[in-house]
Amino acid sequence: MGLRIDVVTIFPDYFGSPLGVSLIGKAAARDDIRFGVHDLRRWATDVHHTVDDVPFGGGPGMVMKPDVWGDALDEITGDGSGARLIVPTPSGMPFSQDMAARYAAERWLVFACGRYEGIDGRVVEAMRARMPVDEVSIGDYVLAGGEAAALVMIEAVGRLLPGVLGNASSAGDDSFGGDGNPEGAMRGLLEGPVYTRPRAWRDHEVPEVLLSGNHAAIARWRRDMALRRTAAHRPDLIPALRDLDRRDRQVLAEAGFPVNGEDMAH
- Contacts to ligand JAH by CB under 6 A: 88-90, 114-115, 118, 137-139, 142-143, 145-146, 149
Active site residue 174: yes
Smallest gap from Cβ 127 to ligand JAH, in A, equals 16
118 or 192: CB nearest ligand JAH? 118
* Catalytic choice (31, 117, 205, 243): 117
**Residue whose CB is less far from ligand JAH, 176 or 257:** 176
Taking the complex as a whole, the smallest distance from the CB of residue 56 to ligand JAH amounts, in Å, to: 17
SS3 103: helix
Taking Cα atoms as reference points, which of 221, 224, 232 lies closest to residue 257?
232
Side-chain half-sphere of 87: how many Cα atoms within 13 Å?
Answer: 24
Q: Rounded distance, CA 219 to CA 209, Å?
A: 10
Given the residues 39, 71, 174, 191, select the one marked as catalytic. 174
For ligand JAH, the closer of residues 99 and 165 by Cβ is 99
- Minimum Å gap between C-beta 83 and ligand JAH is 20
Q: Give the Cα separation of 196 and 206 in Å (integer).
A: 8
Shortest distance, CB of residue 237 to ligand JAH, whole angstroms? 20
Furthest C-alpha separation in the chain:
71
For residue 198, say if its preceding peptide bond is cis, omega within 30 degrees of 0: yes
Question: How far is Cα 137 from Cα 101, in angstroms, rounded to an integer?
Answer: 16
Strands 63-64 and 83-94, bridge-based pairing = unpaired
- Other beta carbons within 10 Å of 91: 9
Reply yes or no on whether 117 is catalytic. Answer: yes
Nearer to ligand JAH, 143 or 237 (CB): 143
Q: Closer to ligand JAH at the Cβ: 145 or 177?
A: 145
Annotated catalytic residue 90:
yes
Q: What angle do CA 5, 16, 144 make, to 5 degrees?
A: 85
- CB nearer ligand JAH, residue 122 or residue 199: 122
Q: How far is the CB of 152 from ligand JAH (least distance, A)?
A: 8
Question: Is residue 4 annotated as a catalytic residue, yes or no?
Answer: no
C-beta separation of 41 from 51 below 8 A: yes
240 closest CA partner among 163, 199, 198, 187? 187
Choose, from 90, 135, 155, 263, the residue flagged as catalytic.
90
| Burial degree of 114 (CB within 10 A; 0-12, 13-18, 19+) | buried
Check 84, 115, 159, 222 and give the catalytic one.
159
Least distance from ligand JAH to the Cβ atom of residue 136, Å: 8
136 neighbors 87 (Cβ within 8 angstroms): yes
Query: Which residues form the catalytic set?
Result: 90, 117, 159, 174
